[in-house]
Structure 1
Amino acid sequence: MSTTATIGQPTVTTLTRQEREVLFAVGCGLTDAEIACALALPEDAVDGHLTGILAKLELRDRAAAIVHAFDCGLVVPGRGPREAARPVPRTVIRRAGEPRVRISVLGPLQAWCEGQPVDLGHLRQQAVLAALALCPDRTVSQQELLDGVWGMEPPITKVVPVYIYRLRKVLRLENSADSVIQRDRCGYRLLPGAVEVDVARMEELVTAAGTAERAGELAEAVRVCAQALELFRGEPLAGLPGPFAELERLRLTERRIALVQRKLDWQLQLGRHSEAIAELRALAVAQPLNEPVAAMLMRALYRSGRQADALALFDRTRRHLADDLGVPPGRLLRQTHQMILRGCDAGLGLTPTAP
């Protein structure tokens, strides 16, 4: 059999997307270990994919696969294996131009203007900027800012225009008299397209993870979801005063917990039980009344051969629920407990939750 593609020989169109990704990486000269790291796959899964590729394409060995990857145009000649650090165009989020100002709320409020960190001043002044950043594409009235930042104790003086003036000054674009904060007769808003807020980036990545899940590519979904979670730098809007910041802090904290659960759910579906246990355990300690998290950890422990630990976790969670809330375990936790007692592994399937 020739090592090059010939007329009538099967083509890469017969491969699945993940098999094409593996073939691309093989063509770039990456080892199985490097491919496993790049594609977030177990190393034995990479070997299995390569075996399937050789069979489908009627190729003799890895060397033939490398030649075929070049012959069919999957790998471009002149692109060395180390230049191809990302083995295949995957779920990529592209933005049309770098924003002039970046604002991070997924932790203590921070901002950068033209790449330089900005001193945002007094905490209430920061809270005003946070309110604008979390109300994108709309004007926020002065009354909304007063209610959101000061609540039932509004300031005696007209301090909002003063804070806006200071923020406009520190967020003024280089070589321009304009600021990214615009004012109209209804209030204030951030200049569209000039500001990137990390929450928006996070939601882009979450959407991409959902797309990967629907395509059946859970490893990619885990990778992208992990990128979204890396944007969190601690407690969102840490230290900022006012009812608006408090509500957003709660919302974003719950959003993070939901994303962690989502990622761990995918990891368990991929069979990465041992990998997920440490993160699940930390989440269960932080949220001892979270029954879905307890159920996931019980499943992971059971499938890692730790049935006694899974049953002990049920007992601890049951006691927490009784002592703190005065309620028994819910249906999900009870079902998981019964299935583990019966050794009913098939009944411990995972039901995805929406991101």
Structure 2
Amino acid sequence: MPTTAPPARPTATPLTRQEREVLRAVGCGLTDGEIARALALPENAVGVHLGRILAKLDLRDRAAAIVHAFDSGLVVPGSGPRVAALPVQRGTVRRARGQRVRISVLGPLRAWRDGQPVDLGHLRQQAVLAALALCRERTVSKDELLDAVWGMEPPLTKVVPVYIYRLRKILQPENETEGAAARARTASRTGTAARTGTAVRAESVIRHDRCGYRLVPGAVEVDVARMEELVTAAGAAERGGDPAEAVRICAQALDLFRGEPLAGLPGPFAELERLRLTERRTGLALRKLDLQLRLGRHTEAVGELWALAAAQPLDEPVAAMLMRALCLSGRQADALGVFERTRRRLADELGVAPSRLLRRTHQTILRGCEAGFAPTTP
């Protein structure tokens, strides 16, 4: 059976230096006017550059360009328009001893303290925590948080420190809070605090320094870190010649998603991260299904792909893989039907023709599945 090459990370190398700067600004969520001011370009030139970028990278629209900017590393999650992107530290994340706070962003934002769910308060307060959780390996400045949560309409009051103070109280483990209170009572009886002039308090999971705020390393478990850890393990299993184990690990990673990432949270940061994490989920699902097809588990893959295609009817890689799975299952007519429905929907809703990937898959099916398929994973 023909095999599919492993997916490659998107690259922005075909672009000129100016085009890379424009793509990065688009990835940061700036409008054409803001990009023009930031890069000292005429506003109409920004549109020309963006058109060339879409053509060179074979991208459909601005949303696809945003995703590409993140995936290619031009934009780091959390790097807003006011700061330069910082390199993301990569590697396996291990659960630290004494970790008592868990945060989940792969669905509606949720947090647990000592295993118990906590109320994270106002939606914008939650959006501040989401930004810290997704930028957990570096300090996030107050200006970045303002850009991330309020965008071009920052609040009139200094609300970020207030939200940080509340989040610290919410996330501080109970036993540390009780311990701090006990130490304070002891200090009060003995006069220790009065003599030394030092305050007694428990350590917070949110650290503040002159540059901004960050989660204390090792003190908080974030589900997106676990997801990336599993993706790395799946890649190792695939390279090691164990696709069945890679499928199992990919399924574990997909189980961490609990619906739309950061559902309901306001602000440009949450909007971009929702888009990025949704694309990440789709890419991971396609990777698992591609492995299943290579293992000959066609019928199993067809069922999952139908559900994925119903949820994302305009996603052409999903449609292409469904067509491939149907053809390999001996259902050539159904595969051609998927192409025709997708073609009509693209024309009716977006006014575009099928992509090269979809057309190539269609031609392969017309020639017969034994002709071999091009890769369909993004």
> What TM-score does the superposition give when structure 2 sets the normalisation length?
0.66
Unaligned runs of 5+ in 2: 1-91, 181-201
- Residue 339 of structure 1: CA displacement? 2.2
Cα 1:93–1:149 shift into 2, 3 Å:
closer
CA distance in 1, matches of 2:297, 2:164: 49
Q: Does 1:299 align with 2:324?
A: yes
What SS does structure 2 have at the residue aligned with 1:280? helix
Deviates more, 1:269-278 or 1:320-329: 320-329
What SS does structure 2 have at the residue aligned with 1:302? helix
After TM superposition, list the pairs within 5 Å mapping 1:172-321 onto structure 2: 172-173=172-173, 174-175=175-176, 176=180, 177-321=202-346
Cα 1:113–1:281 shift into 2, 3 Å:
same
What SS does structure 2 have at the residue aligned with 1:189? strand
CA contact (8 A) 1:104 1:110 kept: yes
What SS does structure 2 have at the residue aligned with 1:295? helix
Cα 1:157–1:95 shift into 2, 3 Å:
closer
- Residue 111 of structure 1: CA displacement? 0.7
Cα 1:282–1:300 shift into 2, 3 Å:
same
- Residue 353 of structure 1: CA displacement? 4.2
Counterpart residue identity of residue 282, structure 2: I
Q: Cα RMSD over matched residues?
A: 1.8
Counterpart residue identity of residue 341, structure 1: L
What SS does structure 2 have at the residue aligned with 1:183? strand
- Which residue in the other structure is 1:132 paired with? 132
Counterpart residue identity of residue 121, structure 2: G
- Residue 351 of structure 1: CA displacement? 3.1
- Residue 330 of structure 1: CA displacement? 2.5
Question: Alpha-carbon deviations, 1:79-108, whole Å to 9, x = none?
Answer: xxxxxxxxxxxxx99644352211001111
CA distance in 1, matches of 2:147, 2:316: 36
CA distance in 1, matches of 2:265, 2:345: 32
CA distance in 2, matches of 1:257, 1:162: 37
- Residue 211 of structure 1: CA displacement? 0.6
Question: Alpha-carbon deviations, 1:63-90, whole Å to 9, x = none?
Answer: xxxxxxxxxxxxxxxxxxxxxxxxxxxx
Unaligned runs of 5+ in 1: 1-91
CA distance in 2, matches of 1:255, 1:296: 17
CA distance in 2, matches of 1:325, 1:238: 25
CA distance in 1, matches of 2:225, 2:242: 23
After TM superposition, list the pairs within 5 Å mapping 1:99-114 onto structure 2: 99-114=99-114
What SS does structure 1 have at the residue aligned with 2:207? strand
Counterpart residue identity of residue 136, structure 2: P
- Residue 120 of structure 1: CA displacement? 0.8
What SS does structure 2 have at the residue aligned with 1:300? helix
- Residue 342 of structure 1: CA displacement? 2.2
Cα 1:94–1:149 shift into 2, 3 Å:
closer
Counterpart residue identity of residue 226, structure 1: A
- Which residue in the other structure is 1:43 paired with? none
Cα 1:207–1:122 shift into 2, 3 Å:
same
- Residue 219 of structure 1: CA displacement? 0.6
- Which residue in the other structure is 1:161 paired with? 161
- Residue 344 of structure 1: CA displacement? 4.1
CA distance in 1, matches of 2:347, 2:123: 40
What SS does structure 2 have at the residue aligned with 1:121? coil
- Residue 352 of structure 1: CA displacement? 7.2
Deviates more, 1:92-101 or 1:171-180: 92-101
Match of 2:375 among 348, 351, 354: 351
Q: Does 1:330 align with 2:359?
A: no
What SS does structure 2 have at the residue aligned with 1:102? strand
- Which residue in the other structure is 1:121 paired with? 121
Q: Does 1:341 align with 2:370?
A: no
What SS does structure 1 have at the residue aligned with 2:107? coil
Question: Alpha-carbon deviations, 1:106-133, whole Å to 9, x = none?
Answer: 1111111122211111111111111111
CA distance in 2, matches of 1:204, 1:183: 27
CA distance in 1, matches of 2:297, 2:98: 36
CA distance in 1, matches of 2:371, 2:315: 24
Counterpart residue identity of residue 105, structure 2: V
Cα 1:344–1:153 shift into 2, 3 Å:
closer
CA distance in 2, matches of 1:301, 1:118: 45
CA distance in 2, matches of 1:248, 1:197: 15
CA contact (8 A) 2:305 2:322 kept: yes
Cα 1:181–1:344 shift into 2, 3 Å:
closer
Counterpart residue identity of residue 283, structure 1: L
- Residue 138 of structure 1: CA displacement? 1.1
What SS does structure 1 have at the residue aligned with 2:161? helix
Based on CA coordinates, which of the two structures has the bigger radius of gyration? Answer: 1
Structure scoring higher RCO (CA < 8 A, sep ≥ 6) equals 2
Cα 1:352–1:297 shift into 2, 3 Å:
closer
CA distance in 1, matches of 2:98, 2:289: 32
